[in-house]
């Protein structure tokens, strides 16, 4: 993929450099032993990352005020940062890494006098933090590029792979399905427009709002086993891991509202999330190969739409699997509609015709009028290593938003870790929220097993 001299940013890239919607992806890789700057620099020097035009270009503004990429000679040593070891005995490594990431999400922008990425080495915590500006690409592209530096633990000659995402069925739809698709699209896009203008969630103990993106943050990790999620998934026909995840979030947030609200919430209270939806036909290392070709028809960068995903408060005593069933019905309707596709196209049109500042304002208003952000990125199924050092976990979060709670889940080697980033003045103990999510999955698992093997009850 050749980069023309001073190529302009893509519309999505321009959105992510606006002050109200600027986003930096912070990806933490756990490693089973410390590494030093020389090792990391050596890995990067021989990687595809240093050959990629986006990662070897400065972000500049021309005389017409247009943002562009300017190719430069890369000095890798400026991008590798060794974080000083803390002078603390018996430190909790997970807590220390989460605190470090939480601080990065609010007050640590990337310097624009060098390409917009950095590697932070937290040796004492056996962790490396990779920071990429979202203008460089979306999560699928960046994860795939990172994996080109890695090799499988089981076979040191092979790269880890990401399973291609499933594409929308190409079968002929019935007249009823087409009518339903058109109706749902109309309803959802109408709500989308209303969210941009005035419609907002009711005030709750998990809602943020304008200005909250600048508030101090805390970060906690909810840990799931993919095997447990698959057990729950099998309890409802044709459900997916995303359905299970959203059922878990519905249950966990309902429990948090019930236990931490000053007055009991009304049954059926709506809390709305914003979810980023990957619109690429495939993902993985095979796509990186195509993207790097000069005449490739594929396109590097950001390609995703947004869905508004409502959940509803239900008090204690509800059947755990009802959260999954409700989530599946809602998400199936969302996937049948063209909401994600049209949100991408409309955003592209607004960016082109009305400019980045106006598009950023609309996106900011949607965030202010909803309650949380959720994303789910599928990682490799097999364990992998970098320069012979096994990776123990992958966790990701992003710059803080006007939401008081932002959740990013990444699956890897049978586990799924969800980073819960909160405004700590609104949600002071995100560990409690993480516990509610973990307990919700286990309760759903027990209910799924009870439904499958009722003779084992009692």
For the annotated catalytic residues, the residue numbers are 134
Is residue 253 within 8 Å of 314, Cβ to Cβ? no
Helical pair 430-452 and 320-336, crossing angle rounded to 10 deg? 100
Q: Where are the alpha helices (DSSP H) in 313-391?
A: 320-336, 339-354, 356-368
Give the C-alpha distances (Å, rounded to integers) separating 70 from 288, 418, 430: 22, 36, 41
**Residues contacting 164, CB < 8 A, separation 6+:** 282, 283, 284, 286
CA distance 56 to 72: 6
Give the C-alpha distances (Å, rounded to integers) separating 249 from 266, 323, 375, 400: 18, 9, 12, 19
Helical pair 226-233 and 241-260, crossing angle rounded to 10 deg? 100
CA distance 28 to 17: 22
CA distance 41 to 148: 15
97-120 burial code (b ≥16 CB/10 A, e <16)? bbebbbebbbeeebeeeebbbbbb
CA distance 374 to 387: 32
% helix / strand / coil in the chain, to the nearest 5?
A: 40, 20, 35
């Amino acid at each position: 993929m050749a980069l023309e001299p001073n190529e302009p940013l893509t519309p999505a890239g321009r959105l992510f450099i606006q002050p109200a919607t600027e986003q930096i992806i912070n990806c933490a890789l756990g490693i089973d032993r410390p590494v030093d700057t020389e090792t990391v620099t050596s890995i990067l020097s021989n990687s595809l990352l240093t050959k990629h035009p986006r990662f070897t270009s400065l972000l500049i503004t021309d005389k017409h005020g247009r943002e562009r990429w300017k190719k430069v000679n890369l000095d890798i040593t400026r991008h590798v940062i060794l974080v000083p070891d803390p002078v603390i005995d018996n430190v909790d490594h997970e807590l220390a890494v989460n605190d470090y990431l939480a601080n990065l999400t609010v007050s640590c922008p990337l310097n624009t006098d060098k390409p917009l990425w950095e590697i932070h080495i937290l040796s004492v915590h056996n962790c490396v933090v990779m920071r990429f500006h979202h203008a460089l690409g979306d999560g699928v592209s960046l994860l795939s590029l990172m994996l080109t530096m890695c090799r499988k633990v089981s076979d040191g000659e092979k790269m880890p792979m990401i399973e291609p995402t499933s594409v929308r069925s190409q079968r002929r739809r019935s007249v009823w399905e087409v009518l339903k698709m058109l109706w749902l699209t109309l309803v959802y896009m109408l709500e989308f427009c209303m969210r941009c203008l005035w419609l907002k969630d009711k005030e709750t103990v998990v809602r943020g709002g304008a200005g909250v993106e600048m508030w101090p943050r805390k970060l906690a990790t909810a840990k799931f086993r993919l095997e447990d999620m698959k057990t729950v998934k099998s309890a409802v026909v044709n459900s997916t891991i995303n359905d299970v995840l959203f059922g878990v979030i519905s249950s966990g947030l309902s429990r948090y509202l019930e236990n931490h609200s000053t007055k009991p919430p009304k049954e059926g209270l709506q809390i709305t999330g914003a979810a980023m939806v990957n619109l690429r036909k495939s993902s993985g290392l095979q796509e990186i190969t195509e993207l790097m070709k000069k005449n490739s028809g594929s396109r590097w960068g950001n390609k995703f739409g947004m869905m508004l995903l409502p959940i509803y408060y239900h008090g204690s005593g509800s059947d755990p699997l009802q959260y999954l069933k409700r989530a599946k019905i809602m998400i199936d309707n969302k996937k049948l509609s063209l909401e994600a596709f049209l949100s991408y196209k409309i955003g592209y049109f607004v960016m082109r015709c009305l400019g980045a500042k106006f598009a950023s304002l609309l996106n900011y208003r949607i965030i202010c009028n909803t309650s949380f952000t959720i994303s789910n990125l599928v990682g490799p199924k097999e364990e992998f290593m970098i320069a012979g050092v096994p990776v123990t976990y992958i966790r990701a979060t992003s710059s803080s938003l006007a939401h008081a709670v932002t959740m990013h889940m990444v699956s890897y080697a049978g586990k799924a870790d969800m980073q819960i980033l909160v405004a700590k003045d609104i949600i002071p103990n995100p560990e409690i929220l993480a516990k509610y999510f973990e307990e919700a999955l286990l309760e759903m698992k027990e209910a799924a097993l009870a439904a499958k093997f009722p003779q084992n009850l009692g």
